[in-house]
Chains A and B, each alone.
Chain A
Amino acid sequence: MFLPFDYQSPKSLKECLKLISENENAHILAGGTDLIVNIRSGKIIPQLVVDIKNISELSDIKKTDNYIEIGSLTTMNQITKSSLLKGAYYLLSYAASIMGCYEIRNRATIGGNIINASPGAETLNPLVVLSAKVVLESTSGQRILSIEEFVCGPNKTEIKKNELLTKILIPIVNEEADGVYMRRQRVKGMDLASVNCAIFITNKSDIKKRKIKISFGTVTPKPYRPIKVEQLLENNKITKNLILESVKIINSEINPRTTSLRASPEYKKFMIEYFLVEGLKKILGEINVN
C-alpha cells in the first residue's frame, strides 16, 4: 500500500479543471502505467489523485477540416486500431502497437506518454515528424503548443500545474506523404527503446518539392531533430557521401549520456546511420548508398 492520498474522478472537463486549479499537489491519473509506478517508488507523493477516465470527451479520435484530433486519454490499443491513423499517419499507430505489451497498451494513453516524456517515449518521435500540436486547457483558457516546444527534457514538459492536456492535433497532409518509425531494444520481448527514430517525407517523388522531417529519441534530453541534415537531404539525390556527411553533422550535435542503462553513446551513434539509411530506403524505395 502507498502513502495515503485522496481520489477524485470528475465526470466533466470543467469539474476536472476546477479541481486541479484548486489543488497544488494534484496528480492526473490516466492509464496509471507511469503514475502508479512512480507512486510506488516514492518519486511522486500525491495528496490528490484526479482520475480522468470518466471524462468521455477525452478519448476519441476524429477528423476535422485541418487535423486528426486525438483525445489525450486515447489508449495505445485504440490508436493501433484506428482507421484514421493509416497511410501517411501509420507510423504513429505502428509506434503505439509495439510499445510495452498488450496489457499495458490496454491502459497506457497517448497523453500520459507525452507528459511522462521519457527519452525513448514511443509516440514522441512520430509526433514530432508529423508536426503535431498539443492542446492544454485550464480554468483560464486554452493554449496550443507544438510538440517540439512542449517537451523540454526527460519527464519535463511546459505543462502548468493547473493545466490538462486534452488533445493532440495532427495536421492533415494533402500531398503525397509517407513515414516510418524504427526502434531498437535490448530483448525481443517487452523493453523500452534503447534508441528510436521517426522519418516523415512529403512529396517524395518530386525532389524539388520534397520535405523531410527526422527525429531521434534518447540521443539528446528531448527528441532531437537534425534540421541541417533535413535541409541537406531534402532536395538532393541521396548518395553515400550525403549520408556520411549527415551522420557527421548529427554526431557533432548530439551528446548521448554515458549513464544510459540501455545503450552506450557509441551504439547510439552507430544506430543513427543505420536508421537514416533504412528509413530513407523504406520511404523512398531503393537508394544507392554503397
Chain B
Amino acid sequence: MSIKIQFKLNGEEKNFYVKPNMTLLELIREKAHLTGTKHGCGNGECGACTIIMNGEPVRSCLILAVEADGKEIITIEGISPQNLTELQKAFIDEGAIQCGFCTPGFIMAGEALFKKTQKPSDDEIKESLSGHLCRCTGYEPIFNAFKKVAKK
C-alpha cells in the first residue's frame, strides 16, 4: 500500500507516494534528497534529525512519512537558503562545529528557540540544547554561539 501525501517542504509544495513504514527522516533524506538532516540514533535521543514541522521543532526519526501530509516542513536547507543565519555565523565564529554531524539539529533547535524568544536566558538555552548530543565539541562552544545571538 502506497499513500499519496502532499506537504510544503522548505516553501515548495511537494507530492510523494510513500509506504506507511517509511519514516519522515527517510523521506527527507532518500526521496527528497535533502541530506542535511542526519540519521543519528533513530530513537529520538540524539537530536540530529530535528526539523521544524508547523513551526515547532520535532524529531523526524520518530514520525512516519505519511504523517507529513498537509504539513509545513522546514529542514536545515530551508531556513535561510541564500545567506547564513546569525546563529550559523555564530557557530563558525565560536568554533562550535567539529565533525558537523550534530550541527543541523542544534541549528534547527536554535531557530525554533529564537523565534519564540529573542533573548533567551542561559537556562532557556540549556533547555533547548538538552536533547541534543554532540560527541566532539564538549558543548561549551555551542552554548557560546547561542549566547552570542541572544545578546544581539
- Report if A102-B64 is in contact (Cβ < 8 Å); known contacts: A6-B1, A49-B20: no
Chain B positions within 8 Å of A49 at CB level: 20, 64
A7 to B19 Cα, complex, angstroms: 9
Number of interface residues of A (CB under 8 A): 28
Interface of A is mostly: loop
- Quick check: is A53 within 8 A (CB to CB) of the other chain? yes
Q: From residue 26 to 64 of chain B, which have CB atoms closer than 8 A to chain A?
A: 26, 42-45, 47, 50, 56-59, 61-64
With an 8 A cutoff between CB atoms, is B128 at the interface? yes
Q: Are A102 and B131 in contact (CB under 8 A)?
A: yes
| Complex: A32 Cα to B21 Cα, angstroms | 13
CB pair B130–A106 under 8 Å, yes or no, is no
Q: Which residues of B contact A37 (CB under 8 A)?
A: 43-44, 62
Residue of A33, A102, A104, A106 touching B127 (CB-CB under 8 A): A102
By a CB distance below 8 angstroms, the chain B residues around A51 are 64, 66-67
Cβ of B109 under 8 Å from chain A? yes
A103 near B58 with CB under 8 A, answer yes
**Contact across chains for B109 and A4 when beta carbons are under 8 A apart:** no
Q: State A31–B63 Cα separation when bound (angstroms).
A: 8
Q: Which residues of A contact B (CB under 8 A)?
A: 1-7, 9, 29, 31-33, 36-37, 40, 49, 51, 53, 100-104, 106-107, 188-190
Given contacts A37-B44, A49-B20, 16 further A-B contacts (CB under 8 A): A1-B22, A2-B21, A4-B19, A7-B1, A7-B20, A7-B64, A37-B43, A40-B43, A101-B47, A101-B130, A101-B132, A102-B57, A102-B130, A103-B131, A106-B56, A107-B59
